[in-house]
Amino acid sequence: MARIALVTGGMGGLGEAVCMKLAALGYQVVTTYSPGNTKSPEWLAEMEEQGYKFHAFPCDVSDYDSAQDCIARITKELGPVDVLVNNAGITRDMTFKKMDKTNWDAVIKTNLDSVFNMTKPVCDGMTERGWGRIINISSVNGQKGAFGQTNYSAAKAGMHGFTKALALEVARKGVTVNTISPGYIGTKMVMAIPQEVLDTKIIPQIPMARLGKPEEVAGLVAYLASDEAAFLTGANIAINGGQHMY
Protein backbone atom coordinates (compact mmCIF):
# COMPACT_ATOMS: atom_id res chain seq x y z
CA MET A 1 0.00 0.00 0.00
CA ALA A 2 1.37 3.42 -0.98
CA ARG A 3 2.59 5.66 1.79
CA ILE A 4 0.67 8.90 2.23
CA ALA A 5 2.63 12.14 1.92
CA LEU A 6 1.07 15.44 2.98
CA VAL A 7 2.62 18.61 1.55
CA THR A 8 1.23 21.84 2.97
CA GLY A 9 0.95 24.71 0.52
CA GLY A 10 1.50 22.41 -2.44
CA MET A 11 -0.42 24.29 -5.09
CA GLY A 12 2.32 26.10 -6.94
CA GLY A 13 5.98 26.95 -6.55
CA LEU A 14 8.23 24.66 -4.57
CA GLY A 15 5.32 22.75 -3.03
CA GLU A 16 4.01 21.75 -6.44
CA ALA A 17 7.42 20.40 -7.47
CA VAL A 18 7.56 18.39 -4.22
CA CYS A 19 4.08 16.95 -4.84
CA MET A 20 5.04 15.90 -8.38
CA LYS A 21 8.31 14.31 -7.28
CA LEU A 22 6.75 12.31 -4.45
CA ALA A 23 3.91 11.16 -6.70
CA ALA A 24 6.38 10.01 -9.33
CA LEU A 25 8.05 7.87 -6.66
CA GLY A 26 4.78 6.16 -5.76
CA TYR A 27 3.55 8.13 -2.77
CA GLN A 28 -0.13 8.96 -2.44
CA VAL A 29 0.14 12.74 -2.32
CA VAL A 30 -2.15 15.08 -0.42
CA THR A 31 -1.89 18.84 -0.22
CA THR A 32 -3.65 21.65 1.57
CA TYR A 33 -5.13 24.88 0.30
CA SER A 34 -6.40 27.97 2.05
CA PRO A 35 -10.14 27.89 2.75
CA GLY A 36 -11.83 30.05 0.17
CA ASN A 37 -9.25 29.33 -2.52
CA THR A 38 -11.50 28.85 -5.55
CA LYS A 39 -8.64 27.78 -7.82
CA SER A 40 -8.05 24.41 -6.14
CA PRO A 41 -10.33 22.37 -8.49
CA GLU A 42 -8.64 24.04 -11.45
CA TRP A 43 -5.20 23.11 -10.14
CA LEU A 44 -6.21 19.51 -9.42
CA ALA A 45 -7.62 19.17 -12.93
CA GLU A 46 -4.47 20.64 -14.44
CA MET A 47 -2.31 18.22 -12.48
CA GLU A 48 -4.50 15.26 -13.47
CA GLU A 49 -4.03 16.20 -17.12
CA GLN A 50 -0.30 15.80 -16.50
CA GLY A 51 -0.85 12.39 -14.96
CA TYR A 52 -0.86 13.32 -11.27
CA LYS A 53 -3.91 12.42 -9.20
CA PHE A 54 -3.53 14.47 -6.06
CA HIS A 55 -5.92 14.94 -3.15
CA ALA A 56 -6.48 18.37 -1.66
CA PHE A 57 -8.11 19.47 1.59
CA PRO A 58 -8.91 22.97 2.87
CA CYS A 59 -6.81 23.97 5.85
CA ASP A 60 -5.76 27.15 7.57
CA VAL A 61 -2.36 25.89 8.73
CA SER A 62 -2.03 28.84 11.10
CA ASP A 63 -5.11 27.68 13.03
CA TYR A 64 -4.76 24.69 15.36
CA ASP A 65 -8.37 23.52 15.11
CA SER A 66 -8.35 23.77 11.33
CA ALA A 67 -5.19 21.65 11.19
CA GLN A 68 -6.73 19.06 13.51
CA ASP A 69 -9.86 18.86 11.37
CA CYS A 70 -7.83 18.58 8.17
CA ILE A 71 -5.70 15.70 9.44
CA ALA A 72 -8.79 13.93 10.79
CA ARG A 73 -10.43 14.13 7.33
CA ILE A 74 -7.31 12.88 5.57
CA THR A 75 -6.97 9.97 7.98
CA LYS A 76 -10.63 9.01 7.63
CA GLU A 77 -10.78 9.28 3.83
CA LEU A 78 -7.29 8.10 2.83
CA GLY A 79 -5.39 6.78 5.81
CA PRO A 80 -2.71 7.98 8.24
CA VAL A 81 -0.03 10.42 7.13
CA ASP A 82 3.42 8.82 6.78
CA VAL A 83 5.34 11.80 5.39
CA LEU A 84 4.64 15.40 6.40
CA VAL A 85 6.28 18.24 4.49
CA ASN A 86 5.71 21.55 6.27
CA ASN A 87 6.07 23.83 3.26
CA ALA A 88 3.34 26.47 3.61
CA GLY A 89 4.62 29.98 4.20
CA ILE A 90 4.14 33.66 3.51
CA THR A 91 6.21 36.84 3.54
CA ARG A 92 5.35 40.28 4.85
CA ASP A 93 8.63 42.08 4.23
CA MET A 94 9.43 45.47 5.72
CA THR A 95 12.04 46.97 8.02
CA PHE A 96 11.59 46.39 11.72
CA LYS A 97 10.99 50.11 12.16
CA LYS A 98 7.90 49.88 9.92
CA MET A 99 6.73 46.44 11.04
CA ASP A 100 3.55 46.27 13.07
CA LYS A 101 2.18 43.48 15.24
CA THR A 102 -0.26 42.37 12.55
CA ASN A 103 2.48 41.63 10.02
CA TRP A 104 4.68 40.02 12.66
CA ASP A 105 1.88 37.74 13.82
CA ALA A 106 0.79 36.77 10.30
CA VAL A 107 4.23 35.42 9.40
CA ILE A 108 4.90 33.73 12.75
CA LYS A 109 1.51 32.01 12.71
CA THR A 110 1.68 30.83 9.11
CA ASN A 111 5.37 29.90 8.99
CA LEU A 112 6.10 28.68 12.51
CA ASP A 113 2.89 27.96 14.44
CA SER A 114 1.79 25.90 11.43
CA VAL A 115 4.66 23.48 12.01
CA PHE A 116 3.28 22.67 15.46
CA ASN A 117 -0.32 22.67 14.24
CA MET A 118 0.28 20.17 11.42
CA THR A 119 2.85 17.98 13.18
CA LYS A 120 0.94 17.53 16.42
CA PRO A 121 -1.92 15.42 14.99
CA VAL A 122 0.35 13.10 12.94
CA CYS A 123 3.41 12.54 15.13
CA ASP A 124 1.92 10.09 17.64
CA GLY A 125 0.59 7.90 14.85
CA MET A 126 4.02 7.82 13.21
CA THR A 127 5.73 6.74 16.43
CA GLU A 128 3.09 4.09 17.08
CA ARG A 129 3.56 2.63 13.59
CA GLY A 130 7.35 2.83 13.91
CA TRP A 131 7.91 4.85 10.75
CA GLY A 132 7.53 8.48 9.77
CA ARG A 133 9.18 11.42 8.07
CA ILE A 134 8.72 15.08 9.06
CA ILE A 135 10.43 17.55 6.72
CA ASN A 136 10.36 21.27 7.49
CA ILE A 137 11.04 23.75 4.69
CA SER A 138 12.99 26.66 6.16
CA SER A 139 15.14 29.20 4.29
CA VAL A 140 18.68 30.46 3.90
CA ASN A 141 17.37 33.64 5.50
CA GLY A 142 16.60 31.70 8.65
CA GLN A 143 20.33 30.91 8.84
CA LYS A 144 21.90 34.25 7.93
CA GLY A 145 19.09 36.77 8.34
CA ALA A 146 17.84 39.18 5.69
CA PHE A 147 17.20 42.91 5.59
CA GLY A 148 13.48 43.58 6.05
CA GLN A 149 12.70 40.06 7.22
CA THR A 150 12.86 39.98 11.00
CA ASN A 151 9.51 38.16 11.07
CA TYR A 152 10.36 35.68 8.30
CA SER A 153 13.91 35.01 9.49
CA ALA A 154 12.72 34.45 13.07
CA ALA A 155 10.04 32.01 11.96
CA LYS A 156 12.37 30.07 9.66
CA ALA A 157 15.09 29.87 12.32
CA GLY A 158 12.50 28.67 14.82
CA MET A 159 11.54 25.82 12.52
CA HIS A 160 14.97 24.26 12.91
CA GLY A 161 14.94 24.60 16.69
CA PHE A 162 11.66 22.65 16.58
CA THR A 163 13.26 20.09 14.26
CA LYS A 164 16.20 19.37 16.56
CA ALA A 165 14.13 19.05 19.72
CA LEU A 166 11.47 16.79 18.18
CA ALA A 167 14.11 14.68 16.42
CA LEU A 168 15.58 13.83 19.83
CA GLU A 169 12.18 12.78 21.17
CA VAL A 170 11.20 10.43 18.34
CA ALA A 171 14.59 9.11 17.16
CA ARG A 172 14.10 5.64 18.68
CA LYS A 173 10.62 5.30 17.19
CA GLY A 174 11.61 5.13 13.53
CA VAL A 175 10.61 8.74 12.86
CA THR A 176 13.05 11.28 11.44
CA VAL A 177 12.68 15.07 11.59
CA ASN A 178 14.79 17.28 9.33
CA THR A 179 14.97 20.81 7.97
CA ILE A 180 15.75 21.93 4.45
CA SER A 181 16.94 25.53 3.97
CA PRO A 182 16.68 26.55 0.29
CA GLY A 183 18.29 29.67 -1.10
CA TYR A 184 16.79 31.58 -4.01
CA ILE A 185 14.79 29.11 -6.08
CA GLY A 186 13.28 29.89 -9.48
CA THR A 187 9.65 29.79 -8.41
CA LYS A 188 7.00 32.16 -9.72
CA MET A 189 7.40 34.30 -6.61
CA VAL A 190 11.15 34.75 -7.14
CA MET A 191 10.83 35.16 -10.90
CA ALA A 192 8.43 38.05 -10.24
CA ILE A 193 11.40 40.02 -8.87
CA PRO A 194 12.54 42.55 -11.50
CA GLN A 195 15.26 41.07 -13.70
CA GLU A 196 17.58 43.95 -12.92
CA VAL A 197 17.35 43.17 -9.19
CA LEU A 198 17.99 39.48 -9.84
CA ASP A 199 20.99 40.25 -12.02
CA THR A 200 22.59 42.91 -9.83
CA LYS A 201 21.57 42.08 -6.25
CA ILE A 202 20.69 38.40 -5.92
CA ILE A 203 22.55 36.22 -8.40
CA PRO A 204 25.94 37.86 -7.67
CA GLN A 205 25.56 36.55 -4.07
CA ILE A 206 25.30 32.96 -5.34
CA PRO A 207 28.64 31.29 -6.17
CA MET A 208 26.93 28.98 -8.68
CA ALA A 209 25.69 32.15 -10.44
CA ARG A 210 22.14 30.94 -10.94
CA LEU A 211 18.86 30.37 -9.17
CA GLY A 212 18.07 26.92 -7.87
CA LYS A 213 15.45 24.76 -9.54
CA PRO A 214 12.33 23.64 -7.65
CA GLU A 215 13.05 20.10 -8.85
CA GLU A 216 16.43 20.16 -7.11
CA VAL A 217 14.84 20.90 -3.75
CA ALA A 218 12.10 18.36 -4.44
CA GLY A 219 14.77 15.72 -5.01
CA LEU A 220 16.22 16.45 -1.58
CA VAL A 221 12.76 16.18 -0.01
CA ALA A 222 12.29 12.83 -1.75
CA TYR A 223 15.55 11.54 -0.30
CA LEU A 224 14.66 12.60 3.24
CA ALA A 225 11.28 10.89 2.82
CA SER A 226 12.87 7.62 1.76
CA ASP A 227 13.93 4.51 3.67
CA GLU A 228 17.54 5.27 2.70
CA ALA A 229 17.47 8.40 4.90
CA ALA A 230 16.59 6.47 8.05
CA PHE A 231 19.85 7.41 9.82
CA LEU A 232 19.55 11.13 9.08
CA THR A 233 17.65 13.17 11.64
CA GLY A 234 17.84 16.56 13.33
CA ALA A 235 19.73 17.99 10.37
CA ASN A 236 19.42 21.30 8.57
CA ILE A 237 20.45 20.79 4.96
CA ALA A 238 21.37 23.94 3.06
CA ILE A 239 20.61 23.94 -0.67
CA ASN A 240 21.54 27.44 -1.78
CA GLY A 241 24.19 27.23 -4.48
CA GLY A 242 26.89 28.18 -1.97
CA GLN A 243 25.26 31.48 -1.00
CA HIS A 244 25.65 30.73 2.71
CA MET A 245 28.06 28.12 4.09
CA TYR A 246 28.32 27.22 7.74
pLDDT the model gives residue 1 = 79
Asked if the model's pLDDT at residue 3 lies above 90, the reply is yes
Confidence of residue 67 (pLDDT cuts 50, 70, 90): very high
- Looking at the domain assignment, is residue 134 inside a domain? yes
Sign of CA dihedral 197, 203, 204, 205: positive
| Spatial CA neighbour of 28 closest among 69, 72, 81, 64 | 81
Confidence of residue 12 (pLDDT cuts 50, 70, 90): confident
pLDDT the model gives residue 98 = 97
Question: Where is 23: in which H helix or E strand?
Answer: helix 13-24
- Looking at the domain assignment, is residue 246 inside a domain? no
Q: What is the pLDDT of residues 153-190, one digit of tens each?
A: 999 999 999 999 999 999 999 999 999 999 999 988 78
- Looking at the domain assignment, is residue 244 inside a domain? no
- Specify the number of domains making up the chain: 1
- Looking at the domain assignment, is residue 106 inside a domain? yes
Asked if the model's pLDDT at residue 128 lies above 90, the reply is yes
Catalytic residues: 152
Rounded (5°) CA angle 78-28-127: 70
Q: What is the pLDDT of residues 179-221, one digit of tens each?
A: 999 999 998 878 888 899 999 999 999 999 999 999 999 999 9
Contact residues for 6 (Cβ-Cβ < 8 A; gap 6+): 30, 31, 32, 71, 74, 81, 83, 84, 85, 118, 122
Q: Which domain holds residue 177?
A: 4-238
Q: What is the DSSP string of 98-113?
A: T--HHHHHHHHIIIII
| Spatial CA neighbour of 191 closest among 207, 213, 169 | 213
pLDDT the model gives residue 181 = 97
- Looking at the domain assignment, is residue 18 inside a domain? yes
CATH number at residue 110: 3.40.50.720
Calpha distance 80→166 (Å, rounded): 19
